Amino acid sequence: MNDTITPALLTINDFMAWSRLGRTKVYELIGSEELRAIKVGRRTFIPIAAAHTWLDAQPVYRDAA
């Protein structure tokens, strides 16, 4: 039996750790609507599906050399 629960929502701090981005950049992404966030009371959450959608939309790094 698998006792691991995959969260459906990430806190801002969870998303920061997951994406390796800083708090200011995360809120910029939310403000520009590049990253979907939801409010539950005073708390801000990022749906895990929105996190994956944001990541998939990022350009692929190509070395110019």
Q: What is the pTM of this model?
A: 0.83
Give 21-40 pLDDT, tens digit per residue. Answer: 999 999 999 999 999 999 99
Residue-range domain boundaries for the chain: 9-56
Residue 40 pairs with which residues in a beta bridge?
Answer: 43
Handedness of CA 23, 9, 37, 56 (dihedral sign): positive
What percent of the chain shows pLDDT beyond 90? 80
Mean pLDDT score, 49-64: 92
Q: What is the dihedral of CA 31, 41, 7, 2, to 10 degrees?
A: 180
pLDDT greater than 60 at residue 1? no
Cα separation, 65 vs 58, in Å, equals 21
